[in-house]
Structure 1
Amino acid sequence: MQRRLILVAGAGVCVLPAWAHHGWSNFDAERPIYLEGRAAKVAWRNPHAEVELELASPLTLPSDLAKRPVPPQSAAVDAPAILAKTVLPTRRDKRWELELAPLSRMQAWQVAEIKPGTSLAVVAYTFPGEKGEAVARVEYLFVDGKAYALRSSPA
């Protein structure tokens, strides 16, 4: 009996980190949002890099967003549709927690480590109905004049 209790407790400890981590299925992939501003805080670590973004004021949707160049591996697949349906968030939070890609993918894309104060923009997904915390999973990162497709790997 005691052995069984230890096994169950051990299995629970292994499952907790995976349960606490947001998967893509938690986010509304049908409604991409546009966020732009400056990095207030940065955690450059695994399981994925994180940026606390202080939004630009006023936040506006760029008129050229649907025509922005993106990496070729996503440009021919779904980038035009994603960029065309991107909207501004309806909630009025001034800071958003951005979930970027794992560090291995950030390195493969050759994304320089983002530092506090860096200006950036993203196309990202938040929770359905924008409920819960101001958290967004980044699909496209625009920084230093470059675009990165964070759900894919570079060709």
Structure 2
Amino acid sequence: MVLSGNLPLFLLVPLSVALSVLHHGWANYDQTKTLDYTGLVEELTYENPHGMLKMQHEDNMWTVVLAPTSRMESRGLTEDMIQPGDSVRVVGYPHKEVKDEMRAERIYVGDKKFELR
């Protein structure tokens, strides 16, 4: 059987499974341990399925998983509000297995708080 776009059906299932594995599942984050870090932004990726930033906090470089861009924009957080070198505060949960990765629940940029959940 062939789907529109000439993609065989037998390839669709493995492709969808592979893509779902690449997405960060929220179950992978330990919601019993809240992190509250302030640090300097090294890098920002503002794209779907969700934004990410690299943040230097003390001696660690943290990968911070943000919300989807549409959610951030609907709550007032636009891409131009965070630049490398800016100080941000992030509150979120650590990844259960990946060292120095967290999922942000909220982010403080300047004097503004943005809820990301």
TM-score, normalised relative to structure 1: 0.65
**DSSP 3-state at the match of 2:108:** strand
Of 98, 101, 110, 1:144 maps to 110
- 1:29-108 matched pairs, under 5 angstroms: 29-55=31-57, 57=58, 94-108=60-74
Q: Which has the higher contact order (CA 8 A, sep 6+)?
A: 1
Runs of 4 or more consecutive aligned structure 1 residues displaced over 6 Å after TM superposition = none
1:31, 1:133 → 2: CA distance? 14
Letter in 1 for 2:87: S
2:20, 2:27 → 1: CA distance? 13
Other-structure match for 2:24: 22
Other-structure match for 2:85: 117
2:56, 2:98 → 1: CA distance? 18
2:19, 2:84 → 1: CA distance? 27
Cα pair 2:95 2:103 within 8 Å, conserved: no
Higher helix share: 1
Query: 1:7 deviation in Å?
Result: 2.8
* Unaligned segments of structure 2, at least 5 residues: 3-7
Letter in 1 for 2:9: L
Other-structure match for 2:5: none
The number of equivalent residue pairs is 110
Other-structure match for 1:70: none
Higher strand share: 2
Query: 1:140 deviation in Å?
Result: 1.3
Query: 1:10 deviation in Å?
Result: 2.4
Please give the root-mean-square deviation of Cα atoms over the aligned residues, in Å: 1.8
Other-structure match for 1:134: 100
2:95, 2:76 → 1: CA distance? 28
**DSSP 3-state at the match of 2:20:** helix
1:99, 1:123 → 2: CA distance? 11
1:29, 1:103 → 2: CA distance? 22
Query: 1:132 deviation in Å?
Result: 2.4
* Unaligned segments of structure 1, at least 5 residues: 58-92
